[in-house]
Structure 1
Amino acid sequence: MLRTLRIIYASDTESVKLDSYRLRDVAVHWYNTWMSSKGANSPPPEWQEFLDAFLRHYFPPEALRARADKFLNLRQRNMSAQEYSLRFNSLARYAPAMVPDMGDRVHRFVSGLGPHLIKECLTTSLQDGMYIARIQAHAQNLEEQQQPQRGERDSDKGHSKRARSSRAVGILSVSSHDVYVLIDSSSTLSYITPYIANRIRVKPEPIKPFEVSTPVGEPVVDRPVYRNCVVVICNHHTMADLHELKMLDFDFIMGIDWLACYTNVDCRTKMVRFQFLGEPLLEWKDVFLDELPNLPLEREIEFTIDVLLDTKAISIPPYRMAHAELKELKAQLKDLLEKGFIRPSPSP
C-alpha cells in the first residue's frame, strides 16, 4: 500500500484517508474509535501517526520481538529449501538490524541450511555480487539434484512425505450448511472461517491464541474454537471441533483430528475408508485428484478489487507468435474453457 501511495504522490493526510478506506471488519471499528479519541477539533492525522497507532494495536513490540527471536533461531531442519527460503524471507522483515545489508542476509541464510546443502552453498555465497534470491534459487536447485541420491535413505519417511500431499476438496454439510471443504491429512486441527462461524449457531469457546503455520510460512493467529459441530458425511453424523481461522479459499479445513476418528487414509492408493459403528466399511476412491476438475462454487461474498477513480485499463499492443507457440496456446485455452477455469472476455 505504501508503494501505491508514493506512486500517486498522495499527501500524508490523503494517505491516511486512502488507507483507512481499505480497512475491513474489526479494523474499521478500531479506526473509528481511534479517530474519536483524538477529539473533534484535532487536526487530521498524518500517515506516520496513523501507522504507529495501527502497529501498536495490531502488532505490539512484544510480538515484534517474538518474530525477531524466531528469525534468530531459524534453521532449515525438516523443511525443504523452498519452505526454508519462504520462512526466512517472511521473518527477515521483523529483524532488519540482524541483516542490515545483502551480505549479512546471504550469510545468515546459508548458515541456517541443512548439512546436505551448507557446504556447497557456503562456497557459492563467497562469489562477488551474490544476493539473496540467487543463493536461495541455488539451494533449491541443489536440493532437487540431490533428491534421487537421497531417495533410498529417505525411504523410511516415504509415508509421511506422501501424507503431506494427501488432500481432497468437496462439499460437506456442517451444522445444516453446505460448505466448501478441504480435507487435509497434514493439518493437525480442523478450522472454520469467521464468516461461516457466525452462521452455524454454535457458541464459541475462547482459548489461548496460538499461531498456525501456513504453506507460505506466514503464521496466522487462531483464536476461538467451536466444539461438537455436526459434520454430515455419507448421511452419517460426525462431530468435529473447529478452530476459527481467517482463510480465503475454503470454508472449512478438516484435519487429522477429525480424520483419525472416522477414517483410514491410504495415501499410496489414494483411498479414504470411512468406518462408522455398526455400519459396513465405506470407501472413497481417487479422492486425491492430480488436478482440479473445475473452479470452486460461487461464493456468497463477491470479490472485488478497488481501483482509483478514473483509472483506465492497461493497453498492451498485440504481437506476433510463432506458429507452434500459437497452436499450443490455443490448445491450452480450449482445455481451460471446457473445464470452466476461464471464460471469454467481454472487453472490446
Structure 2
Amino acid sequence: MYKTLQVMKATETEGVKLASYKLRGPAHSWFEMLEDSHRDGSPLARWNEFVDAFMDHFLPAETMAARATEFEILKLGNMSVWEYHMEFVRLSKYVPQLVSTMDVRGRRFVQGLSPLVATEARKLKIRAERESNSRDRSAGHSRGLPVQGRGPIGPSQSYAQSSSSAPPSGMGRGFAQSSGSSAATSSVCPPDLAERGALRGGV
C-alpha cells in the first residue's frame, strides 16, 4: 500500500485518507474514531502516526516483540532462498527501524543466508560493481573527456622528446624516432593514478 501511495505522490495526510478506503469491519470503525478525535480542526494523523496507532491498537506489544525476535534470529536453514525471502519480507514489516534503508535491508538479508550462499551473493555484488565501473569509464570516453597522457591544449610533456633529426610528425603520437636505422620505440608512460581518479570522477 505504501509503495502505491509513493507512486501516486500522495502527501502523508492524503495517504492516510486513501488507505482508509481499504479498511473493513473493526479496522474501519477504529479509523472513524481516529477521525472523530480530529474534529476540533487539528490535522489528520500523518502516515507514520497512522501506522503506529494502527499497530498499537490491533497488535499487542507482546506480539510485536515476538515478531521482532523472529526477525532477528531468522536464518536460511532448511528453507529455499525464495521461502527465506518471503519470511524476511513478512517479519521485516514489524521491525521497520531495523531495515530503514535498502542498504541496511540488503546487508541484513545476506546475514541470514548460509555462508556459501552469502559468499556467492557478495561475489555477484562485486562483479556487478565492476561492470558498472567499466560502463562508466566507457561512457566517459564516449563523452569526450580528457584522454590519458594529453593536456588541455596539446600532447603531454611526459612523452619522450625525439632527437633533433627526427621528423616533427612523431611528437603527437607518443613515439620517439631515432636518427639511425633502428626501429622506433614507444615512450608512452603508464597512466597516472591521479588521472585515473579524475576520469572516474568525471562520469
TM-score, normalized by length of structure 2? 0.48
Structure number with greater Rg is 2
Higher strand fraction (1 or 2): 1
